[in-house]
C-alpha cells in the first residue's frame, strides 16, 4: 500500500528554497507574497506608518523575503505562512527601516514590483471602518478575508469555464450568508429551476467551496495536520 504524502504546495516549495533556490520556488514565493501582501500592508499602516512609508516598508520586507534572508532560520515544523509572515515583518519593522528605503530606491538585489497594487491597497485601506483592533488582529482579519476571496475567485473561474457564471453569482450568497434569509423557492424562480434542484446545486457548491478552501489553506502550511487548525482559526476570525 502506498503511503499518503502531503502534496508539494507553494509553501513547501518556499521552505525548500532556504537551501536550494529554483525558478519554481521563487515563483511560489512571489505568488504567496502577491496574494497575501494586503494583510501585511494593513498591519504596517495600523502600526501608525503613513501610506508612503508603509509602502516602502512593505515592499522592502518583500525584497528581503525574496532574498531568503528570513527563510534561513525558519523552522519547518511550525510551518504556518501566516505566523511566519507576521513574526518576520515585526522583526523587520524593528530593525530594518533604513534597508527598506534603500530597497525601494533599487538598492536591494530583489524587489517585487507591486507599486500599482500598493496604490490600490491604500484606497482599500482608507475604506476600512474605524476599529479598536490591534495591528495583529487587523492582520489576522485580512489574512482570513484574503483566503476566502481567493477561494471564491477560484469558484467563479470554475463557474465561468463551465458556463454557469449567472448561477454562481446568484448562489454564492448562500456561501457568504447574504442569502440566508431568502427562501429557496424565490431564488429558484429567478433561475428558472425547481426548489429541489436549487438545493442540490447549493449543496454541491458548498461542498466544492470546502474543497477549494482546504486546498488554499494547504498552500500556506507545511504539514497536513495543521490544515484543520487553520480552518478553525479562520472560522473564529471571520465570525468575530
State the Cα–Cα distance between residues 182 and 186, nearest whole angstrom. 7
State the Cα–Cα distance between residues 67 and 233, nearest whole angstrom. 30
Phi, psi of 195 (to 5 degrees): -65, -40
Region 4-13: mean pLDDT is 56
pLDDT of residue 55: 85
State the Cα–Cα distance between residues 202 and 184, nearest whole angstrom. 10
Region 160-165: mean pLDDT is 95
Region 220-229: mean pLDDT is 86
**Could you read off the pLDDT of 88-124 as tens digits, one per residue?**
899 889 876 555 555 554 444 444 555 566 667 788 8
Check pLDDT > 90 for residue 232: yes
pLDDT of residue 221: 84
CB contact set of 132 (below 8 Å; sequence gap of 6+):
none
Q: Within a 13 Å sphere around the CA of 185, how many CA atoms are in the beta-carbon half?
A: 0
Q: 161: buried, middle or exposed (CB in 10 Å: 19+, 13-18, 0-12)?
A: exposed
State the Cα–Cα distance between residues 38 and 56, nearest whole angstrom. 14
The more confidently predicted of residues 34 and 197 is: 197
What does the DSSP 8-state code read for residue 109?
S
Amino acid at each position: 500500500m502506498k503511503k499518503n504524502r502531503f502534496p508539494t504546495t507553494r509553501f513547501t516549495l518556499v521552505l525548500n528554497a532556504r537551501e536550494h533556490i529554483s525558478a519554481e520556488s521563487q515563483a511560489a514565493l512571489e505568488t504567496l507574497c502577491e496574494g497575501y501582501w494586503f494583510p501585511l500592508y494593513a498591519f504596517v499602516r495600523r502600526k501608525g506608518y503613513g501610506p508612503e512609508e508603509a509602502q516602502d516598508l512593505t515592499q522592502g520586507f518583500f525584497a528581503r523575503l525574496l532574498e531568503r534572508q528570513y527563510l534561513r532560520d525558519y523552522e519547518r515544523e511550525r510551518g504556518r505562512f501566516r505566523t511566519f509572515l507576521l513574526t518576520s515583518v515585526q522583526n523587520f519593522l524593528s530593525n530594518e527601516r533604513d534597508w527598506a528605503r534603500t530597497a525601494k530606491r533599487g538598492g536591494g538585489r530583489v524587489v517585487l514590483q507591486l507599486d500599482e497594487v500598493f496604490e490600490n491597497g491604500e484606497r482599500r485601506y482608507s475604506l476600512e471602518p474605524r476599529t479598536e483592533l490591534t495591528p495583529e488582529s487587523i492582520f489576522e482579519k485580512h489574512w482570513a478575508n484574503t483566503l476566502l476571496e481567493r477561494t471564491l475567485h477560484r469558484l467563479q473561474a470554475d463557474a465561468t469555464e463551465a458556463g454557469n457564471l449567472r448561477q454562481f453569482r446568484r448562489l454564492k450568497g448562500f456561501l457568504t450568508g447574504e442569502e440566508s434569509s431568502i427562501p429557496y423557492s424565490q431564488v429558484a424562480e429567478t433561475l428558472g429551476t425547481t426548489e429541489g434542484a436549487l438545493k442540490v446545486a447549493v449543496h454541491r457548491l458548498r461542498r466544492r467551496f470546502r474543497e477549494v478552501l482546504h486546498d488554499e489553506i494547504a498552500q500556506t502550511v507545511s504539514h497536513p495536520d495543521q490544515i484543520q487548525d487553520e480552518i478553525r482559526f479562520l472560522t473564529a476570525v471571520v465570525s468575530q
